[in-house]
Chain A
């Protein structure tokens, strides 16, 4: 027996080592390829956008003028629109997503668990153009009639509330776009949260129940603290999607350049501006300003992810 093992063992070990090295090299190659692609993307965005930065300087970031006829471009309106819609979307989606995830994991009767879970996943799989069309033709008229008009008509003239609720009463604007975005990022956050909650060992929860805690206390004091770091990651994932979402927003935001002045006003986001204008942009300043917008969006997304890492890191050490 020993002789057989020795005879077959050495070449097998050598072959195994060679395969291992090949495997390592392939994995390393995959990782480097990704990094190179990312690096190339940033560099080409920077090169493409450079003429715009050079021509407009700091005013590219501070001005909200977007005039393709006179070739004057400023990103401030689009950046504001992007940040406002993404933040509002997150505010709307977060409590709902938490609710869905906690219900699915802690409270849901087993019979309902699968249908609701599948529905959440289906929501994530709907293409964004469908949300856009639905938003424009179904949601916007409903929203205008049942939400926007009552609010606008009840606002007292001359008050701040009137200022921030003026707009065209057809349901297209910053708030509608934020709500559509919220629906779109909801399944991502909810699905990730559910996975996280499922990772909590049963003993931990059972022990808390054993000590006499109510369901609410278990969720608040045991489940949520247990998944907090991962939850921040899930939220940031949703925020990342909201920042970059293009087609749905383009259909429903009203597409006006400049600073949005109210929650019902038309606005624009970085992604919607690029989607609207890139195909027909011919002048160098126009094209390069749009590419520069792309770089700005990349930097914003990067900052969000970096912030998430930082928060998670701090939590992990604490």
Chain B
């Protein structure tokens, strides 16, 4: 019995020794330690996992990302239990300064209204921002309401009650959606924008699954989900009117249009929601997901690993992002983020990571 344990321990030691060796071999490529820890938003988690997998194979750098939600990510990075936090909801510049954090976007996504309307083809129904707000406030109750009919000439609207479906769990999706309604509809001000709000009408489904489940099962229902989720599941969406006045459909191009139309130079700490951006083709409910890091890194090697991970993703991760229905950042924004990294310094006061010139 005891001998077996001894043998086991010896075997373990031998294995660790081997893996140490391989780490050292990998160090030539990877800038530092074998593993970085991150936690936060669930929305980018599939993409981060994919990036991590590809990068581990290429550079040996491993990422341990826990999708615990944006709120959890913010809490964890403030408590310094992780090397980076991830959030769909950007922190305001003053909040960043207070906590000694910096943030930058990694990838773009958006929110899509989904509907269940018998006899109406996907994308056929058109909604304006104020109309969407009235529907979610519960003031427009029927699909054949004159206000909806006015925006949809020629569409046979069913005489069905509108069932509003929203997220029941706190979510960056809800934050983006309610921020949009606040921005475009003054009547939404009494509800406000947050990752969970006091919904005046409707039912709450848990997660994108829950919302789409309710919408699919309820004729006359309208809900909202992440763009990637809507695309992967082929959900029927509604077209939305953007700031330029045109009705647009949610596509990778319309998200990219919203991102490139935005003026990031006037957004300190990259605090910018891509809501109602100018541009004839811009999707109005667009937003980036963010990474949060401490400005002063106690361990320069860890900071360097995180930034090199993101740098790699910017350089080589776009294909993976497109494949999973995320929208990569425009090139000029990536460059802007890279130059912002000079603010992240190690104990010696020097930047922990200097990206190679692209």
User: Interface on A for B, CB 8 Å cutoff?
Assistant: 65-70, 136-137, 140-141, 144, 168-172, 250-251, 254-257, 266, 268, 272, 275-277, 279-282
A250–B206 touching, CB < 8 Å: yes
Please give, as numbers and ranges, the residues of chain B lying within 8 Å of A255 by CB-CB distance.
168, 203-206
Residues of A close to B168: CB separation below 8 A: 250, 255, 268, 272, 276
B210 within 8 A of A: yes
Contacts of B75 in A (CB 8 A): 282
- Given B171, B195, B204, which contacts A256 in the complex, CB threshold below 8 Å? B204
Of the candidate stretches B65-73, B254-262, B314-322, the one touching chain A is B65-73
Chain B residues lying within 8 Å of A282, measured Cβ to Cβ, are: 71, 74-75
**Top 3 closest pairs, chain A to chain B, by CB:** A280-B170, A255-B204, A255-B168
Stretch at the interface among B212-220, B279-287, B299-307: B212-220
Pair A276/B214 contact, Cβ less than 8 Å:
no
Q: Is the CB of A137 within 8 A of B213?
A: yes
List the interface of chain B (C-beta within 8 A of A): 68-72, 74-75, 163, 168-171, 191-199, 202-206, 210, 213-214, 217-218, 221
What total count of A-B pairs have CB within 8 Å? Answer: 96
Tell which of B72, B163, B194, B195 touches A170, judged by Cβ atoms closer than 8 Å: B163
With A69-B193, A69-B194, A170-B163 known as contacts, the answer to whether A279 contacts B217 (CB < 8 A) is: no
**Least CB distance, B90 to chain A, in whole angstroms:** 13
A264 to B199, CA, bound (A): 18
Contact assessment for B198 and A68 in the assembled complex, using a CB-CB cutoff below 8 Å: yes
Q: Are B71 and A279 in contact (CB under 8 A)?
A: yes
B111 vs chain A, min Cβ distance (A): 16
Given the contacts A250-B168, A254-B204, A276-B170, A172 and B214 also touching, CB distance less than 8 Å = yes
Contact B213 A279 (CB under 8 A): no
Distance in angstroms from B73 CB to nearest chain A CB is: 10
**Are the C-beta atoms of A280 and B196 separated by less than 8 Å?**
yes
User: In the complex, what distance in Å separates the CA atom of A69 from the CA atom of B221?
Assistant: 25
Say what secondary structure dominates the interface of chain B: loop
Contacts of B206 in A (CB 8 A): 250-251, 255, 275-276
Known: A254-B204, A276-B168, A276-B196. 12 other contacts (CB 8 A): A68-B170, A136-B210, A136-B214, A144-B217, A169-B218, A170-B203, A251-B205, A251-B210, A257-B198, A277-B196, A281-B196, A282-B71
Complex-state Cα separation, A136 to B205, whole angstroms: 10
Whole-angstrom distance between the Cβ of A248 and the nearest chain B Cβ:
11
Q: Do A254 and B203 have beta carbons less than 8 Å apart?
A: yes
Considering the chains assembled together, what is the distance between the CA atoms of A293 and B49 in angstroms? 34
Query: Which A residue sits closest to B194, measured CB to CB?
Result: A69
Task: Pick from B195, B198, B213: contact of A67, CB below 8 A.
Answer: B198
Contacts of B169 in A (CB 8 A): 275-277, 279-280
Measured CB to CB, the closest approach of chain A to B139, in angstroms, equals: 17
* A256 & B163 in contact (Cβ 8 Å cutoff): no
Report how far A55 CA is from B87 CA in the complex, Å.
28
**Distance in Å: Cβ of A260 to nearest Cβ of chain B:** 12
CB of A147, distance to nearest CB on chain B (Å): 14
Give complex CA distance A277, B68 in Å: 12
A69 to B214, CA, bound (A): 25
B70, B74, B203: which contacts A168 (Cβ < 8 A)?
B203
Does A68 contact B163, Cβ atoms closer than 8 Å? no
